[in-house]
A and B are shown apart, each in its own frame.
Chain A
Amino acid sequence: MTEKIGKFLTGIPSWYLIIPVFLIIGILRFSNIATVSPVSEESRHVVEVINGIKPGSKIMVLVNYGPEGRAELEESLSTLITTFAKKEVGIVFATMVPAGIETISMSVEKSLGMLKATEVRYVYGRDYINLGYIAGGPVAAGMLAGKLTEMRKKDVYGNELKNMPVMNGINSFEDFSGLFEFSSMKIDDVPGAVLISMMSGGQNVVKTVFCTSDNVAEVIPFLRSGSINAMAGGFRNVVAATKLLNPYSNDDKRYFICTAVLFYILIVIVTGVIGKFLRGRE
């Protein structure tokens, strides 16, 4: 009997196992399940840092992710831009990965869509600017952390930075109130914000990292060692921080679905092992 069960379990073609994933995602997506995402201390601290940025100040946002991190980080980036737009905080966008240029445009577009319902007008050049792709890894980070306006004279569209009102009072990295990095990849094996933290001597600029789940293990040690000040690492913490900033966000439902799919994968793995065990394999 056990041999038969084992033979049945191990005999299921592997591609059949993907079908329940579609069912789980579909059913949960269309149902009205109330989900509550747990809020960790890290997420609260990130929100405190965001709330601590004074209205009218300037911040830098490093967007170091491409399409692979979109599902995890786009909602939080758009929420962050919207939050700062309402506070009239100037944002200087930059990226250290080529795919980041497109990501910045899409997130800003989404934020402007969110702001349409309000009376806030967020204007390119006056309120925000996109410096584009900054190539060169640690050397570029060193220049970015030093004399910013000497390193970069034009934005991604070829406009002179000195003609942009948002750049008034910004000469070096030290003139920013905060650095926020959204990352799904590392630059020369180091998270971008950490690289800038290494290169900039000053500790006045608060550095916060939002990273994807596969980057958490890489960033946590730098949070403990003080290279960065706050971190929302992994989908769970990113969702929690987003939800605290924007209670209408539906990211927590997506987190709930992902948890359900992961639970299913766990069941598949355990069942597979039991199947092999019942057939007498090691």
Chain B
Amino acid sequence: MILSTDIGVWIASALTIAVLSGLFKDNRVFRLTESVFIGVSAGYFGCVWLISIIFPSIDEAANGNMMILIPIIAGLILFLPRSRESRYSKLVYLPAASISLLYIAIALPLYFEKYVYDMISASIIPLIYIGGDGRVVWDMTVNSWISILGTVSVMWFFVARFYKLGNTAHFFGEIGRFYVLVALGCTFGYTLLSRVILFTGRFDFIVTELFGFRF
């Protein structure tokens, strides 16, 4: 065991233990660490935006690229006061509308293609898998049909919620509900695993970096 002499490692370890103290019960050390985390994050992101966006833009303008002034002015207009009495308050809508329009023009057709068209195609095609030898690959074909059943029944589930339907239609909606629950369970499981990995990562940090144990 070799204790670290790095002050950064000591601070990080102390903050990790302080955060974990919140598991016992809410305490002042935990709240202090929470505030430190929020403050440091805001400061870090502020610096990154300043260095990555603002300073290069000023450099560009100084080098004669006056086009860069348009987004800068549009951005500043967003900070105009919005009181009804203010004469120029409606100017705020100009950059806001430009941002929305630009976003819709660029993103919407692409999102529709990748999210709707490609996803539906991938869910229902092919209906029957044919292997390299010309025979039907049954496990992949069954997999494909399970996928189709899931897609259709989940959509039907949301329709069936709003209308009083017959028993068969209701049952089909219930299959969709089962698929939704499975999807939610998977997402919960994956999220839980992710947090456990984060926790073991912090444990590893304290053991290897602070106490110097090597595995």
**CB nearest to B118 among chain A residues:** A225
List residues of A (233-279) whose CB comes within 8 Å of B's CBs.
Answer: 234-235, 250, 253-254, 257-258, 261-262, 265
| Count of chain A to chain B residue pairs whose CB atoms are closer than 8 Å in the complex | 113
Q: Which residues of A have CB within 8 Å of B196?
A: 258, 261-262, 265
Chain B residues within CB distance 8 Å of chain A:
23-25, 44-45, 48-49, 52-53, 56, 102-103, 106-107, 110-111, 113-114, 118-119, 121-123, 183, 186-187, 190-194, 196-204, 207, 213, 215
- The residue on A at minimum CB distance from B123 is A224
Chain A residues closer than 8 Å to B102, beta-carbon distance: 139
Distance in angstroms between the alpha carbons of A113 and B198 in the assembled complex: 23
User: Chain A nearest CB: distance from B150 CB in Å?
Assistant: 12
Give the contacting residue for A71; candidates B49, B52, B107, B197; CB below 8 A: B197
Knowing A198-B111, A262-B192 are in contact, say whether A135-B215 is a contact too (CB < 8 A): no
Which residues in window 14-36 of A have CB below 8 A to B? 15, 18, 21-22, 25-26, 29-30
Residues on A facing B (Cβ under 8 Å): 15, 18, 21-22, 25-26, 29-30, 68, 70-72, 98-99, 101, 132-133, 135, 138-139, 142, 154, 156, 188, 190, 194, 197-199, 212-214, 216-217, 221-222, 224-227, 234-235, 250, 253-254, 257-258, 261-262, 265
4 smallest A-B Cβ distances: which pairs? A71-B201, A225-B118, A225-B122, A98-B48
Residue in A101, A188, A221 whose CB lies within 8 Å of B119 = A221
Which of B45, B102, B198 gathers the greatest number of chain A CB atoms within 10 Å? Answer: B198
Complex alpha-carbon distance, A123 and B202, angstroms: 31
Give the nearest-CB partner of A68 in chain B: B198
| B197 touches which of A18, A99, A135, A213 (Cβ 8 Å) | A213
Question: In the complex, are the beta carbons of B49 and A29 less than 8 A apart?
Answer: no
Given A72-B197, A214-B190, A258-B196, A135:B53 Cβ within 8 A: yes
Main secondary structure of the interface of A (DSSP, over half): helix
Picked from A18, A21, A199, A250, the residue with its CB within 8 Å of the CB of B110 is A199
Q: What A residues does B107 contact at CB under 8 A?
A: 138, 188
28 contacts between A and B (CB under 8 A): A18-B23, A25-B203, A30-B215, A98-B44, A99-B44, A135-B49, A138-B106, A138-B110, A142-B106, A198-B110, A212-B194, A213-B191, A214-B190, A214-B191, A214-B194, A217-B187, A217-B190, A222-B114, A225-B118, A225-B122, A235-B194, A235-B197, A254-B200, A257-B200, A261-B196, A262-B193, A262-B196, A265-B192
